[in-house]
Amino acid sequence: MATVPAAAQVLAVLRYLARQAAPVPAAAISRDMGLPRSTTYHLLDTLIGAGFVVHLPEERRYGLGVSAFELGSGYTRQAPFERLARAPLAALVDRTGHNAHLAVPHGREVLYIIEERAPGRAPLVTEAGVRLPAHLTASGRAVLALLPGAQVRALFPDASAFVRRTEAGPRSMTALRHDLVGVRRRGYAVESGEVTAGFSSVAAAVTDHTGRPVAGVAVTFADGDADAAGRERIAGQVIATARELTLRVAGRPAAPRTRAP
């Protein structure tokens, strides 16, 4: 698909500003993005005129404007991610015969935004709107495994961060690191009895255009409903669904990571 260079540059500036902790000088934008200064100022002027960027003259810096906030609010209202995900999750339920759900990261927790229930299956704790500790859930581990090590350590700075629901689950960064190495090696995450005794989950990450994880797709089943071979088959279906969602949100697969956090 052909791209419009000017449009691509405008979007790149907005993405750059969105990643910054505070407004930045035009010189920093020009330097970090490899743009000529004249082009940078032209793009900023255009974005200011449309309300997407604001100039702070006293600080000689540029930040996101009200139109950018409205754009983000519109995304929240329309919930396009949930709309894009619902059909693939329903298909995942049909293929596996088990409940499936989609969770997004929220600090050291995951927030469940969709639960697709299989016919005849009991409701789970992972219904939409529920938050659970990321290090205990398969969805959370699928996401954590693709984050930079420094970010994982910042999320879990000490032993108090490793809350538990049952007797199972990592209690230290060393234990969590070991779990995440396994996730990267297998290509999917697992948990067994760490959220609800007698139930296990398999999950894979959905990634954005930079390859960063934005969600976890998971299937949950009673331990007696799937043997080792059955769990592998479920994992294959979960991975395929996560890849489909990655393509639906214009993402790209994450680059393999072999080093532990």
CATH no. for residue 51?
Answer: 1.10.10.10
Is 105 in the same domain as 179?
yes
CATH for 217? 3.30.450.40
Q: Is the pLDDT of residue 259 over 60?
A: no
Number of domain units in the chain: 2
> What does the pLDDT read at residue 83?
84
> 191, 200 in Cβ contact below 8 A?
yes
Is 93 in the same domain as 68?
no
Is 143 in the same domain as 192?
yes
Q: Is 103 exposed, middle or buried (0-12, 13-18, 19+ CB in 10 A)?
A: buried
pLDDT tens, 89-147?
Answer: 999 999 999 999 999 998 889 999 889 999 888 777 777 788 899 999 999 999 999 99
Q: Is the pLDDT of residue 196 over 80?
A: yes
Domain boundary among the residues 72, 106, 122 is at 72
Question: Angle formed by the axes of helices 5-19 and 26-33, to 10°?
Answer: 120
Is 217 in the same domain as 115?
yes
Domain boundary among the residues 72, 87, 121 is at 72
> What does the pLDDT read at residue 1?
46
Q: What is the mean pLDDT of residues 198-206?
A: 95
> What does the pLDDT read at residue 70?
78
Q: What is the pTM of this model?
A: 0.74
